[in-house]
Homo-oligomer: A and B are copies of this chain.
């Protein structure tokens, strides 16, 4: 299923900037960055639970936030993009 993850991390402090890097890095392990703070990940249920918990462990829930949108398996028709592209589709073959 497609899981969309969006986050706001408060980067006013050094530790905030560190959390932001950690969140992005962890999301990169599971999916593709489509915008600065937006990742699309193709995950099964177990992976989704693991990723979610790992992100919760990184953020400071008093100042940061995470949102998870579960778009199921038929997500192709549910997404539209306009403007500059940030990456390639997570489930598309990479042609080199």
A interface residues (Cβ-Cβ under 8 A, vs B)? 4, 6-8, 34-38, 52, 55-56, 59-71, 77-86
Q: Could you say how many copies of this chain the assembly holds?
A: 2
Partner of A69, one of B55, B63, B78: B78
Q: List 16 A-B contacts (CB under 8 A).
A: A4-B4, A6-B38, A8-B35, A8-B36, A35-B65, A59-B83, A60-B83, A66-B82, A67-B81, A67-B82, A68-B80, A68-B81, A68-B82, A69-B79, A70-B77, A71-B78
Do A38 and B67 touch across chains, with their CB atoms under 8 A apart? yes
A8 / chain B contacts, CB cutoff of 8 Å: 35-36, 38, 83-84, 86
> In the complex, A81→B64 CA distance in Å?
11
